Amino acid sequence: MTFSSMTEEELAARPDRLVETARALANETGSAAFTVAQVTARSGLSLKSFYRCFHSKDDLLLALLAADSAIGARVLAERIGDRTGAAGVRAYVVELFDLVQLPGAIGYAGVLVREYGRLQEEHDEALTAALKPLIDLLAENIESLDSRRDAETMFSVLISGIHDVVVGRVDDASEYAEYLHHFCTRGVGL
């Protein structure tokens, strides 16, 4: 019988270590084009350790999206400040597009936009839970009969726009953010 030399604290930190490694690999490639083997090799953990923490690469991606969505929502809330309603929605959209262009954000954005549709199709509830902080922040500023549904729909439109920025289809991300803001707010009557 062998015993691990890792402490309980180190064992508990393994999922975070794997997520941090996935984030680093995503930032290098701007996508989720890395393997579980690359994640484990870079993190210094075994495949067995990986599968004790996550059932699949998709579970790791969802954990990465959840962690970065929570961080992004906090930063976005600070940038929105005390603006609410229509001004809050505008600030959300403009600041979200600004955040995507910050150094280090392209990896998260790349994973999110390239994997969003597939994860939504295959893991809808888990993806919704992972993105909850960002969607809740948007819903807080939408004054409609179904602000949550409107926020989810608007967020899907914004993801499509961020995809265009990430893949280089948009020359002026700020102008595009303003366009999407106007498009989305007309749709929800703001």
SS3 1: coil
What's the pLDDT tens digit per position in 62-110?
999 999 899 999 999 999 999 999 899 999 999 999 988 887 777 777 7
> DSSP states of 95-153 as a string?
HHHHHHTSTTTHHHHHHHHHHHHHHHHHSHHHHHHHHHHHHHHHHTT--STTHHHHHHH
Q: Nearest-CA neighbor of 96 among 3, 180, 40, 187? A: 180
39 neighbors 18 (Cβ within 8 angstroms): yes
Which of the four pLDDT bands, split at 50, 70 and 90, describes residue 8?
A: low
The helix/strand/coil state of 48 is: helix
More confident residue, 148 or 11: 148
Task: Provide the pLDDT for residue 100.
Answer: 85
**Residue 17 — pLDDT band, cuts 50, 70, 90?**
very high
Evaluated on CA atoms 100, 140, 161, 36, the torsion sign reads positive
**What is the pLDDT confidence band of residue 2, given thresholds at 50, 70 and 90?**
very low
Quick one: average pLDDT of 45-74?
93
pLDDT at 15 over 70: yes
Q: Which pLDDT score, from 0 to 100, does residue 6 have?
A: 56
Spatial separation of the C-alpha atoms in residues 146 and 7, rounded to whole Å: 48
Q: Which residue has the higher pLDDT, 13 or 67?
A: 67
Tokens of 151: 């926020």
Q: What is the mean pLDDT of the chain?
A: 88
Looking at residue 1, its pLDDT comes to 34
Give residue 144's pLDDT. Answer: 86
| Rounded-to-integer distance, Cα 140 and Cα 70, Å | 15
Confidence band for 26, pLDDT divided at 50, 70 and 90:
confident
Predicted local confidence at residue 66, as pLDDT = 93
On whether the CB atoms of residues 38 and 58 are closer than 8 A, the answer is: no
3-state secondary structure of 171: coil
